[in-house]
Amino acid sequence: MKKWKDLTPYEQQTYGNGIGPAWWPPWFRNLITGFCSRFFLEASWQRHDHGYQWGGTEIDRINADGRFLIAMRRDVSRARWYLKPIAWVLCYSFYIAVRFGGCKSFNFYNND
């Protein structure tokens, strides 16, 4: 499997299934992903999905979730003042969702 930096820009842009678990209907994930794309520019669910597919240990999953949270917080800090309340709610909702529900999607193997 390629590292994130070795993927082409097109591969990076189209990586993953958007926001939400695989069992959500695609139309719903697309709706949520489109809405949330207005709030987050640096934070990338594609990159987060890649980290989950890359896999590793629980520490690797914690690091992937932490990097996602840090990027979302930077995006929120750059948001317009009237969007910040919604962006903060989304930021921490996503973080809580990946921490509590992400273990089912993470590849718990060492892929060195």
3-state secondary structure of 71: helix
Per-residue pLDDT of 7-46, as tens digits, reads 888 888 888 888 888 889 999 999 999 999 889 988 889 9
Residue with tokens 């520490």: 59
CA–CA separation, 21 vs 88, rounded Å?
21
What does the pLDDT read at residue 110? 62
CA–CA separation, 71 vs 40, rounded Å?
8
Predicted structure pTM score: 0.87
User: Among residues 24, 39, 53, which one has the least CA distance to residue 111?
Assistant: 53
CA–CA separation, 65 vs 73, rounded Å?
12
73-95 average pLDDT score: 95
